Amino acid sequence: MTETTGAGKPAGRSWRLNLEIRQDVSRLQRFLLTLGGLLAGIAVAAIILVLSGVGLRDLYTEFVVSIFTSAQSLGAVLVQASPLLIAGLAAAVAFRVRFWNIGIEGQMIFGAIACTLIAKNDVGPEALRLPLMAIAAAFGGMAWIAVPGFLRIRLGVNEIISTLLLNYVALNFLLHLLYGSWQDPKSSFPHSEQFDAVERLPAVGIMDLTLALPIALVAALLLWWLMEKSRFGFFSRFAEANPRMSRAVGIPLTLVTLTAILVSGALAGLGGFVISSGIESRMTQSFFVGYGFSGILIAFLARNNPLLAIPVALFIAVLFVAGQSLQVFYQIPAAMVQLIQAIIVISVAASDFFIRHRVRIIRQGV
């Protein structure tokens, strides 16, 4: 237990700040404190935006009114949210076993490449085309994470470096394909041919939404069960908290770690499928930038909880969409949007301190 004492006046009445370690934190307290951190971050972000010339009323309009009253904006948020959510889930499951998967973007790219391979070559009957594409994408993502996963488990190679660098390998391979053999013959633009109708995720009939959002939500539910309810999830908690102890107490640590890593890669690959088949209807190059890192952000803010990742992904999607219109209509630089994201992450991270400690002001008479 550590404790520090704050300002104290030697004479007369004095006060000091007392830090105490909380012995037991209820779920409600945890939730409220995290929410407090989030609100504090939003407040700071709002102040910065106001200082850079966006009126408070405009902020309210952009972030609240237009998002929740215009079906078009809400649709844009929901479309944006599905790949973000899947990327967040991919990060959460890997982080749970302390595998710092920075390579989500690369795994998404390989998921997209794998499903485009199926689509381009019209593999299998049309009725099974979409499921085949999804499965291929998952395997593509798994294949791309298998290399750093193997290196880490067998040789202890730091996965932060290997997954990060494999992003660039994947990105360059993607460019090689798009500027080479997979270039669209009709337009000569560096993206693949448009997928056939059977290779695109069908619309669900509300706004502009496709099956992408339901797929992301189901993935979140399944992962929640896997991580919070199943035996694997229980074991993964121990793998996270104390690997040495886990092994000694009989938890199959290698198997648990490997499973989590492969599930992470498969989810990222599925994210690539959702983007290609559900949003862009083809394999493109530009939209991958940022999903992987936003996924890490979402997992962090949601404390690796797949259900919490749903509102967090929506929140990040709002930032994406509103940030775009701020850039267009108020000449706010793109960096400002990232700054806001960073501020919110930091303040939520800081709320962890208040979850673990209680701060009390003590008056003392002399």
Residue 155 sits in the site that holds another protein (CB under 8 A): no
CB atoms closer than 10 angstroms to residue 92: 29
Q: Give the span between the Cα atoms of 110 and 192, in whole angstroms.
A: 14
Residue 349 sits in the site that holds another protein (CB under 8 A): no
List 89, 174, 215, 251, residue binding another protein (CB under 8 A): 251
Residue 249 sits in the site that holds another protein (CB under 8 A): yes
Residue 303 sits in the site that holds another protein (CB under 8 A): no
Residue 250 sits in the site that holds another protein (CB under 8 A): yes
Residue 286 sits in the site that holds another protein (CB under 8 A): no
Contacts for 177 with CB less than 8 Å, ≥ 6 apart: 113, 192, 283
Q: Which is nearer to another protein, 175 or 218 (CB)?
A: 218
Segment near another protein (CB under 8 A); pick from 38-46, 117-125, 209-217, 232-240: 232-240
| Cα 137 to the center of its chain, rounded Å | 18
The distance of closest approach from Cβ of residue 284 to another protein in the complex, given in angstroms and rounded to an integer, is 39
Residue 247 sits in the site that holds another protein (CB under 8 A): yes
Residue 8 sits in the site that holds another protein (CB under 8 A): yes
List 95, 232, 288, 291, residue binding another protein (CB under 8 A): 232
List 35, 123, 248, 359, residue binding another protein (CB under 8 A): 248
Residue 22 sits in the site that holds another protein (CB under 8 A): yes
Residue 15 sits in the site that holds another protein (CB under 8 A): no
Segment near another protein (CB under 8 A); pick from 107-115, 139-147, 248-256, 323-331: 248-256
The site for another protein (CB under 8 A) is made up of 1-5, 8, 10, 16, 18, 20-24, 229-235, 237-238, 241-242, 244-252, 358
